[in-house]
């Protein structure tokens, strides 16, 4: 069991908060697609004989691809890897790209899951973020996908920014429920260095973010999702039973994956590698039949810390016995600092697993850092 991630590094315009690798110029789109397809053959041995049960088109904006582009990439993967018959194949999409023609065309590809970047149903918020779509397109895109037969849909929301009052946040949540999608990803707005948002806040063009607002809106969402029967299976992800993102769940559970395209990361159980985050350098390297990646062999402490960080984000929690499989004595070493968080009721121990409480989820990064080896 393994996954493949394809990074499509193009966007129509730059969202002010985004620090992912992308270009707003499509000038070299054809060369990029050729390079990604060829990288698949260069990386054909990376996952060994593992079956591929998830394929994920991320970015950037993968919905800028044509259906023929999608089929070409997946056909090439199939030439070198065995793709499971029930593989989850996800395409991240912007609402403005999912017109009726695009949705119908994607029905003729292996895509069976959409991740639609709605973020907000309020135009003033979308303008504040510099999103390319408008609120009417957000709702319409989901309905078009559903009408075309796509049932496995997740939508993205963002909370914790100055324009988002509690009343507007509740309206966003209610709109998602009305759309009857089985999965929701919701992220607290963060200010990443070297983004337009960071510059605007520094120059006092935009108001600074408020951590208390973010925490309160996180709790409002968690309560609302629970009331509607969604499982809070990862800090930023909610799903109706049986509708977890298989691809992302595999990340959190340490399953191997191959990343293709500029800036894409890969993991084979023993090491991580990451491609250069530069379109021109990526294309040039692939044209020379060279993989433009750096590699890090994971030490014992690396593997322990990654497991701590990822497992605590999930509803399944941190399995103390699994720590012992990585390093003998790790369980005892971790329980001492963990006991302090149990006293604060940020962590609860259920059988042999450590699971964050609702309050503990607000401090997940802090807790993980304190438990690192």
367 touches 312 (CB < 8 A): yes
Residues 107 and 35 in one domain: yes
Give pLDDT tens digits for 29-64: 999 999 999 999 999 999 999 999 999 999 999 999
The verdict on 242 and 345 lying in the same domain is no
Domain match, 31 and 172 both: yes
pLDDT band at 124 (very low <50, low <70, confident <90, very high): very high
181-226 per-position pLDDT tens digit: 999 999 999 999 999 999 999 999 999 999 999 999 999 999 999 9
Domain shared by 179 and 31, yes or no: yes
- Considering the domain architecture, whether residues 181 and 97 belong to the same structural domain is answered as yes
Look up the pTM and report it.
Answer: 0.96
The answer to whether 88 touches 183, Cβ cutoff 8 Å, is: no
Based on the domain organization, do 228 and 351 belong to the same domain? no
Residue 373: strand pairing partners: none
Predicted local confidence at residue 5, as pLDDT: 98
- Say how many Å lie between the first and final Cα of the chain, rounded: 28
CATH of the domain at 347: 1.10.10
Q: What's 16's domain CATH number? A: 3.80.30.20
Show which of 220, 252, 284 is a domain's final residue: 252
> Are 118 and 156 contacting, i.e. CB atoms less than 8 angstroms apart?
yes
**Whether the Cβ atoms of residue 325 and residue 300 lie closer than 8 Å to each other:** no
What is the percent of the chain with per-residue pLDDT over 70, rounded to a whole number? 100
Residues 150, 88 within the same domain: yes
- Specify if 86 maps to a domain: yes
How does the average pLDDT of the chain come out, rounded?
Answer: 96
Is residue 62 located within the same domain as residue 202? yes
Q: In terms of residue numbers, what domain contains 111? A: 2-252
User: What domain count does the chain have?
Assistant: 2
Rounded to whole angstroms, the Cα distance separating 293 from 267 reads: 12
**In the prediction, which pLDDT does 251 show?**
92
Same domain, 170 and 312: no
Tens digit of pLDDT for each residue in 314-370? Answer: 999 999 999 999 999 999 999 999 999 999 999 999 999 999 999 999 999 999 999
Q: What is the pLDDT of residue 22?
A: 86
Same domain, 174 and 317: no
pLDDT of residue 277: 97
Provide the pLDDT for residue 60. 94
Same domain, 150 and 247: yes
Is residue 220 included in any domain, yes or no? yes
Instruction: Give the pLDDT score at 263.
Output: 98
Closest C-alpha among 174, 190, 201 to residue 236:
190
- On whether both 223 and 329 belong to a single domain, the answer is no
Instruction: Confirm whether 276 is domain-assigned.
Output: no
**pLDDT of 27 above 90:** no
């Amino acid at each position: 069991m393994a996954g493949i991630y394809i990074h499509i590094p193009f966007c129509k315009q730059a969202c002010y908060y985004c620090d992912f690798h992308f270009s707003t110029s499509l000038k070299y789109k054809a060369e990029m697609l050729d390079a990604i397809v060829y990288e698949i053959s260069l990386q054909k041995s990376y996952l060994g004989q593992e079956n591929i049960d998830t394929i994920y088109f991320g970015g950037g904006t993968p919905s800028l691809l044509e259906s023929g582009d999608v089929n070409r990439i997946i056909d090439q993967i199939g030439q070198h890897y065995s793709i499971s018959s029930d593989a989850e194949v996800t395409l991240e999409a912007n609402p403005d790209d999912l017109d009726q023609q695009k949705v119908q065309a994607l029905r003729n590809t292996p895509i069976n899951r959409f991740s639609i970047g709605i973020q907000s149903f309020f135009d003033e918020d979308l303008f504040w973020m510099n999103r390319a779509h408008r609120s009417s397109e957000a709702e319409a895109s989901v309905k078009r996908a559903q009408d075309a037969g796509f049932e496995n849909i997740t939508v993205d929301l963002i909370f914790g920014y100055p324009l988002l009052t509690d009343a507007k946040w509740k309206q966003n949540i209610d709109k998602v429920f009305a759309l009857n999608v089985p999965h929701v990803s919701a992220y607290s707005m963060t200010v990443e260095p070297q983004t337009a948002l960071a510059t605007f806040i520094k120059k006092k063009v935009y108001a600074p973010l408020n951590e208390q607002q973010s925490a309160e809106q996180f709790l409002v969402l968690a309560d609302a999702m629970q009331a509607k029967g969604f499982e809070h299976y990862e800090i930023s992800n909610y799903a109706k039973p049986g509708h977890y993102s298989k691809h992302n769940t595999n990340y959190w559970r340490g399953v191997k994956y191959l990343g293709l395209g500029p800036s894409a990361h890969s993991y084979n159980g023993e090491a991580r590698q990451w491609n250069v985050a530069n379109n021109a350098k990526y294309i040039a390297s692939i044209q020379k039949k060279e993989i433009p990646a750096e590699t890090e062999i994971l030490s014992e402490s690396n593997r322990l810390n990654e497991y701590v960080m990822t497992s605590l984000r999930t509803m399944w929690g941190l399995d103390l016995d699994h720590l012992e499989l990585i390093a003998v004595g790790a369980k005892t070493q971790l329980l001492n600092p963990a006991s302090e968080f149990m006293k604060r009721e940020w962590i609860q121990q259920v059988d042999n697993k450590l699971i964050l409480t609702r309050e503990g989820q607000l401090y997940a990064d802090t807790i993980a850092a304190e438990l690192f080896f």
